[in-house]
Amino acid sequence: MTTTAKILVTSALPYANGSIHLGHLVEVIQADIWVRFQKMQGRSCIYVCADDTHGTPIMLAAQKQGISPEALIDKVHQEHQQDFQAFAIGFDHYYTTHSEENRELSRFIYQRLKQAGYITTRAVEQAYDSVKQMFLPDRFIKGECPVCGEADQYGDNCEKCHKSYDASELKNPISVVSGTRPIKKSSEHYFFKLPEFTQMLQQWTTQGHLQEEISSKLKEWFEAGLQEWDISRDAPYFGFEIPEAKDKYFYVWLDAPIGYMASFKNYCQQQGLDFDEYWQADSKTELYHFIGKDIVYFHALFWPAMLAGAGFRTPTAIFTHGFLTIDGKKMSKSKGTFIKASTYLKHLAPEYLRYYFACKLNASISDIDLNLDDFSQRVNSDLVGKVINIASRSSSFLKRQFHHQLAQQLPNNDLYAEFVKASTSIAEAYQQREYSQAMREIMHLADQANQYIAEQKPWLMAKNPNQTDALHQVCTLAINLFMVLIVYLKPVLPLLAEKVEALLNIATMTWQTIETPLLNHTINAFQPLMPRVDTKQIQAIQQDSVQDLQVKS
């Protein structure tokens, strides 16, 4: 899909009222691997993201903590950045939607849509908390499910019978904010005329911009008929005021995707790049969004319609992934499987999780499962037992008998050539986001390298003075096969790759590094690269996750 064009990549914006958890990491790790691969290929690829900072939940969470919304989002922003940095997520820029760039772009896009006749207004009757004097979003109303009668259910869907409904259908509703019964109140709202983009969207959603499963799903929305989209919220609300509209604010889902543009614009200002080159309607650059399947409707219908209506380019593609389950079930706080990024990092290295997710991820929208037993076994077997084992065994002989110096030639050029040849299929797997396939191919090569070492028996060669040269060449080949494997794994394991670059005494590895083997070259002394996972560490993560819940409650 990608050519030599300049590429801009985004991932969905984490909401600024909570910590990063393993579910968030599925997406940013998937995007980060793809971006790192593009950069290893020598392509111009920029990865931006931001915190999603507006809306009623932010406003109420700040009030509960006795701080301003700005103070809350600043605090969460720092925490999010620390977590992402620890997991080696290589954002070129991580910003906030509560920025002047986003305010200006949101107003600009709104004004363009309004001038083109795509904005209308009408009165809407909503639930209103007369004590707190605020209109209530569906998630701030609770009551008995109108379908099954289950108590304490939110105003949009039931967690027991999984039925969706309108908040007005709840029995015995109460406001989550004040605990009182909401009343009905009318207010004028602003709407985006999404139905006028039906034909454009029907074409766009079937032209290869989306996965087939997503295109098929969207057909149901077209068959039901697209509805005008309410883009306004009433005061009090933390967000951007709508121009020339008293006490009206842009709904968070209007300015959140515009936050992609705003983050990039701020980056352009810092780096001296041309914002318009990437966002003008006839742009020759490529734009990719990585998102979860729960927000497809906003990204695949509202977002391209807004962009087209305001005269901007639409995305080249939207890459959608599934949800994360742990041990086959939804993440659970009580069972210690609702795991925060910071909790994981107290006990385990980030790259274990990056590798495990890569083993599970592909281009489909299927959910992926983090099986905690399989996790430790796979990391220990693949990374420690297969890959790193090659370097640790070979470097010990090079240290003892050859002063860390590699031989002047390889004993088996065909084997090295076979490893290099695999770069084509592995690169294609990365490009198509078929990471699980890439990991299988890489581990198959690791098996071949270990098999070669086992056949050559360097530990026996070391005892025979007549085989010194042969030992030197075998260990040199092993180190070079290891180098190829690390180049292939670098998009997934960038921190390990840095350690290996230091070990091999070489410059930053690119995809082209493997074209020339290391010969007559001095490497550095081997240092432990990655310890094994202990099951006690996983148990500690689960125990800490349960304690996190108890501290909060």
pTM of the model: 0.95
Q: For 7-116+196-229+250-321, give the CATH class.
A: alpha beta
State how far the Cα of 9 lies from the Cα of 46, in Å rounded to an integer: 6
**Could you say which of 2.170.220.10, 3.30.565.10, 3.30.460.80, 3.40.630.40 is the CATH number of the domain covering 119-191?**
2.170.220.10
State how far the Cα of 168 lies from the Cα of 2, in Å rounded to an integer: 47
Identify the pLDDT of residue 459.
Answer: 95
Mean pLDDT is lowest, of 147-161, 367-381, 454-468, for 147-161
Please report where in the chains the tokens 């090295």 appear, as a residue. Answer: 416
267 HSE (CA, 13 A, CB side): 23
Q: Do domains 7-116+196-229+250-321 and 386-515 have the same CATH topology?
A: no
Identify the pLDDT of residue 553.
Answer: 38
pLDDT digits (tens, 9 = 90+) for 110-169: 999 999 999 999 999 999 999 999 999 888 899 999 999 999 998 877 878 877 787 888
Positive/negative CA dihedral, 503, 506, 511, 513: negative
For strand 232-234 and strand 141-144, is the pairing parallel, antiparallel, or unpaired?
unpaired
User: For residue 385, what are the contacts with CB-CB under 8 A and spacing of at least 6?
Assistant: none
**Could you say which of 2.40.420.20, 1.20.1050.10, 3.40.50.1980, 1.10.730.10 is the CATH number of the domain covering 386-515?**
1.10.730.10
Q: What is the 3-state secondary structure (H, E, C) of 176-235?
A: CCCCCCCEEEEEEEEEECHHHHHHHHHHHCCCCCCCHHHHHHHHHHHHHCCCCEECEEEC
- Predicted confidence (pLDDT) at residue 418 exceeds the cutoff of 60: yes
- Predicted confidence (pLDDT) at residue 270 exceeds the cutoff of 90: yes
Give domain limits for the chain. Answer: 7-116+196-229+250-321, 119-191, 386-515
Assign 292 a pLDDT band (cuts: 50, 70, 90): very high
Alpha-carbon Rg for the chain in angstroms: 27
CB crowding 481-490: b at 16 or more within 10 Å, else e: bbbbbbbbbb
Query: In whole angstroms, what separates CA 518 from the centre of its chain?
Result: 35
Mean pLDDT is lowest, of 99-103, 126-130, 384-388, for 126-130
